[in-house]
Amino acid sequence: MKTIFVISDTHGNKTAIRSLKEIMAESDYIVHLGDYARDIEEIRMQYPAKVISVMGNCDGDVSGDEKIFTAEGLRILAVHGHRFGVKSSLDRLFYYAAEKQADIVLYGHTHRAAITEENGIMLINPGTLERNGERKTYAYLVLHEKKTVAKIVGVK
């Protein structure tokens, strides 16, 4: 069994990240999906082998930034999402994930938490930890024997 903690679009809210340190410590993987990817550096210093991060549109020139990793026999694609037009449709992201043979896609950019599944590919957006009045959320995944349970969790 593996657990994955996923955040995105933190936009400098390191206080929210620090408030979740206990959950990150217990997780097998910690994923930051961009837009202030540098916000996770303090955590990366503590857990260098557990942190996976990609750059978002607010992080500079990131035209091709993505990561693919495997956990519990599942292929996981991590992207920010801006290159795939995720604010209007998940179609381009879905087809790209299928091309990459991903079982799970982690994406951000929209600031809206969502878990959807299409033709066996699970697409998960953890939402945002930004401070501007939006609901702060992260995603938590449990993977076991090629099965995935994903949940969106609210943060106070």
CATH number at residue 118: 3.60.21.10
Quickly state the pLDDT bin for 41 (edges 50, 70, 90).
Answer: very high
Residue recorded with tokens 């037009």: 85
Question: Edge to edge, what strands does the sheet with 51-53 contain?
Answer: 51-53, 29-32, 2-7, 136-144, 147-155
Quickly state the pLDDT bin for 61 (edges 50, 70, 90).
Answer: low
Range of the domain at 56: 2-155
Residue recorded with tokens 């929209």: 110
Q: Over pLDDT 70: what percentage of the chain?
A: 97
As a whole number of angstroms, the distance between CA 91 and CA 32 comes to 22
For the chain, how many structural domains are there in total? 1
Q: Average of pLDDT values for 90-111? A: 97
The pLDDT of residue 135 is above 90:
no
Write down the pTM of the prediction: 0.95
As a whole number of angstroms, the distance between CA 90 and CA 118 comes to 10
The pLDDT of residue 91 is above 80:
yes
Q: What's the token pair of residue 109?
A: 């950019």
DSSP tag of 31 = E
DSSP 92-150: HHHHHHHHTT-SEEE--SSS--EEEEETTEEEEE--B--SSSSPEEEEEEEEETTEEEE
The mean predicted confidence, pLDDT, of the chain is 94
